[in-house]
């Protein structure tokens, strides 16, 4: 089947109490690792491309890689989504250039301006059969080299969501409930220790999510910054010449719970980066003579595939839903 929008996927995910994985892609091995897992697990899939990915790999290369994945995986629905579209022009260029979904992220702008910009993108997108994700609230962390400090982040205000969705006509809404971008989502000081001595981060604001959902019944909610920062990969990185002290992510239990509620799209990028980097670092230490990129990119791709398989089956609940 050709690239699809997220409309049908979100409807089924909302009613079925699961979420679709939205994975960031930057090169061929990442596209292949993700799509091979989704194909084998019969999971609907969102592949997303950031401004940084377009700058790194080039729009055409990324679209063609995703189109190749669509040919290789005819049995699963795949959407191609622009992640964190910074302005109308970038969204327009992706809408004109083959994407089926775009995010306009004007969440750092004042409420009225966010509505204006989002509405303009929605009008153009809907005229072209493309769906739009918008955002209310500000996540902490790094995206496109912009670093939002924890003190500048803010939770979504539930009292704003109905007006925002009605006035903009957006198709899904990303909200801020305590997730953040990158591999350092919490400091150890913010965490407590459980009986096994493992750091447990402060809980997500499920009260905010529930209040939002009450005001927007049936409306798909999106969670950004939802990597769990698997500690086995952090350990592999640190034991093989890397230096990632205190990398902490979102506990999988919380993501599972969010997926059962109104969250229909869960964004994961950092975990893919960790899987790839850990595998390559270990490979270089174990095989110092290797210099053919295929020797280390092959296990890196396999690590991404197994990570994604785990997310689809054990976290998102979307395996078998294609």
Ligand X SMILES: O=C[C@H](O)COP(=O)(O)O
Binding site for ligand 13P (CB under 6 A): 24, 83-84, 181-182, 224-227, 267-271
Q: How far is the CB of 199 from ligand X (least distance, A)?
A: 22
Question: What does the alpha-carbon distance between residue 75 and residue 71 come to, in Å, rounded to a whole number?
Answer: 9
Q: How many other CB atoms are found less than 10 A from the CB of residue 50?
A: 20
Q: How far is the CB of 134 from Zn ion (least distance, A)?
A: 10
CA distances in angstroms from 279 to 206, 229, 270, listed in the order given = 34, 14, 14
Q: Is 126 annotated as a binding residue?
A: no
311 binds, among Zn ion, ligand 13P, ligand X, none (CB under 5 to 8 A by kind): none
The bridge status of strand 20-24 relative to strand 45-50 is parallel
91 binds, among ligand X, Zn ion, ligand 13P, none (CB under 5 to 8 A by kind): none
226 binds, among ligand X, ligand 13P, Zn ion, none (CB under 5 to 8 A by kind): ligand 13P
- One of 39, 51, 81, 224 touching Zn ion (CB under 5 A): 224
Residue 171 annotated to the active site: no
E-strand spans in the chain?
20-24, 45-50, 78-85, 101-104, 131-136, 141-143, 146-148, 172-175, 192-193, 199-200, 221-223, 263-268
52 binds ligand X (CB under 6 A): yes
Scanning the structure block, which residue is given the tokens 């697990």?
41
Token pair of 250, please?
């979102």
Token pair of 70, please?
């669509």
Our CB check for Zn ion shows the closer of 70 and 174 to be 174
Question: What does the alpha-carbon distance between residue 120 and residue 71 come to, in Å, rounded to a whole number?
Answer: 33
- One of 81, 84, 283, 321 touching ligand X (CB under 6 A): 84
- The active-site residue out of 83, 171, 269, 271 is 83
105 binds, among ligand X, Zn ion, ligand 13P, none (CB under 5 to 8 A by kind): Zn ion
Angle value at C-alpha 103, between 100 and 104, nearest 5 degrees: 130
Active-site residue list: 83
Binding-site residue numbers for Zn(2+) are: 84, 105, 135, 181, 224
Residues that bind ligand X (CB under 6 A): 24, 50, 52-53, 83-84, 143-144, 181, 269
């Amino acid at each position: 089947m050709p690239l699809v929008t997220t409309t049908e996927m979100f409807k089924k995910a909302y009613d079925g109490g699961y979420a679709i994985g939205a994975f960031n892609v930057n090169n061929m091995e990442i596209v292949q690792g993700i799509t091979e897992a989704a194909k084998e697990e019969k999971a609907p899939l969102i592949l997303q491309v950031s401004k940084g990915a377009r700058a790194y790999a080039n729009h055409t290369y990324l679209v063609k890689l995703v189109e190749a994945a669509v040919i290789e995986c005819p049995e699963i629905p795949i959407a191609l989504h622009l992640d964190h579209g910074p302005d109308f022009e970038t969204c327009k260029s992706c809408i004109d250039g083959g994407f089926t979904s775009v995010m306009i992220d004007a969440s750092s702008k004042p409420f009225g301006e966010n509505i204006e910009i989002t509405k303009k993108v929605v009008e153009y997108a809907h005229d072209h059969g493309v769906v739009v994700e918008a955002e209310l609230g500000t996540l902490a962390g790094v995206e496109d080299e912009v670093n939002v400090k924890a003190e500048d982040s803010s939770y979504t205000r539930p009292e704003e969501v109905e007006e925002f969705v009605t006035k903009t006509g957006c198709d899904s809404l990303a909200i801020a409930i305590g997730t953040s971008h990158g591999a350092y989502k919490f400091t150890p000081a913010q965490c407590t220790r459980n009986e096994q001595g493992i750091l447990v981060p402060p809980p997500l604001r499920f009260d905010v999510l529930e209040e939002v959902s009450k005001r927007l019944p049936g409306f798909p909610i999106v969670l950004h910054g939802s990597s769990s920062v698997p500690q086995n990969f952090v350990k592999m990185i640190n034991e093989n010449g890397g230096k990632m002290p205190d990398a902490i992510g979102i506990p999988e239990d919380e993501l599972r719970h969010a997926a059962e509620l109104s969250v229909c799209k869960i964004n994961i990028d950092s975990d893919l980066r960790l899987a790839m980097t850990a595998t390559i670092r270990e490979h270089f230490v174990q095989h110092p003579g290797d210099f053919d990129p295929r020797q280390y990119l092959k296990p890196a791709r396999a690590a991404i595939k197994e990570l994604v398989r785990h997310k689809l089956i054990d976290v998102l609940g979307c395996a078998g839903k294609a």
